[in-house]
Amino acid sequence: MTKFEKITKAEVINAQRAWAKAVVDQDVETLLGLYDFGSPDEPLLFKPTLADVIRLDEAGARSYFVGGNEDYPNDSGFLNKGWKHVEFQSAAGPILKAGGLGYKDMGHYTFVNENGDATRADYTFAYHKINGKVLISLHHSSLTWLPPSS
């Protein structure tokens, strides 16, 4: 059984900053290193913004970020979009989970490309700490719903 450690809000915010920097830097190895891929009994739950299927393992996450995996033919590589800035806008948190062993967060994040065009998505992440490292155990995001203009 995995032993989770106490985690602080500041550590979660630093993990979010590291995630945003890895996206901008197109650094897939650092990005994947921020996720806990768990075990078959407790896999990572990963449904990112521009994906059509939920992923449970590192191969699925890597495919989303860089593409090229025939098991995920609709992946074009999220990191290939030329993001120049990523900003997290938490709705209320991050919020400490019961027992102090993890945080959850929900809000919006905005991705800005090299042309200055912004894409806003809604996110839900869950974090815990193992061996001194903050890891993402759940990542769900989707494009922000906008009401039809009249």
d(CA 147, CA 40): 39
Half-sphere exposure of residue 67: CA atoms within 13 angstroms, side-chain side: 11
Question: 55: domain range?
Answer: 9-143
Q: What is the pTM of this model?
A: 0.92
At 150 the pLDDT is: 65
pLDDT of residue 39: 86
Phi–psi pair at 27, nearest 5 degrees:
-100, 85
The span from the CA of 92 to the CA of 70, in Å, is 39
Asked if residue 115 is part of any domain, the answer here is: yes
Ranges of the chain with pLDDT below 70: 1, 98-99, 150
Per-residue pLDDT at 69: 95
Judge residue 5's burial from the number of C-beta atoms within 10 Å of its C-beta, 0-12 exposed, 13-18 middle, 19 or more buried.
Answer: middle
Is residue 2 a part of any domain in this protein?
no
Model pLDDT, residue 1: 58
Q: Is residue 15 part of a domain?
A: yes
**Phi, psi dihedral angles at 89 (to 5 degrees):** -130, 90
The pLDDT, as a whole number, for residue 101 is: 76
Check residue 42 and give its pLDDT: 87
Number of domains within the chain: 1
pLDDT of residue 64: 97
CATH number of the structural domain spanning residue 133: 3.10.450.50
